[in-house]
């Protein structure tokens, strides 16, 4: 029984590592460039989409978001891009699949 509880606790810790890490880290400010094009394909219920929205806000990055469950145009574009999960983020033409904080910040800063 103790092993089961330990496994469940470990699994919960692994799944929430992004939230725990972001509690201790601050997001560096990104100089928003008007030429930076950011598009995110997402859903309302996706936790990683929520983290991406928060990251864009804290970094001062403007973005356009398509909820693929509510926008027919967004779903069409998502499928055309080979969408297999959310979030699917495009920064200056580069497709990023999933949520990777460091990669997103690097792409936002590379413009």
Per-residue pLDDT tens over the stretch 32-52: 444 569 999 999 999 999 999
Whether the CB-CB separation of 61 and 39 falls below 8 Å is answered with no
pLDDT in tens, 8-19: 766 665 665 554
Tell me, what's the pLDDT at 29? Answer: 40
Quick check: pTM over 0.85? no
Map out the domains of the chain with their CATH numbers.
Answer: 2-109 (3.40.30.10)
Find all residues with CB under 8 Å of 10, minimum gap 6, and list them. Answer: none
């Amino acid at each position: 029984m103790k092993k089961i509880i330990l496994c469940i606790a470990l699994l919960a810790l692994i799944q929430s590592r992004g939230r725990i890490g972001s509690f201790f880290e601050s997001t560096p400010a990104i100089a928003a460039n008007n030429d930076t094009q950011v598009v995110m394909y997402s859903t309302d219920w996706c936790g990683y989409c929520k983290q991406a929205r928060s990251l864009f806000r804290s970094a001062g990055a403007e973005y356009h978001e398509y909820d693929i469950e509510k926008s027919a145009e967004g779903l069409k574009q998502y499928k055309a891009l080979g969408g297999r999960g959310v979030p699917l983020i495009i920064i200056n033409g580069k497709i990023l699949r999933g949520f990777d904080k460091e990669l997103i910040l690097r792409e936002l800063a590379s413009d």
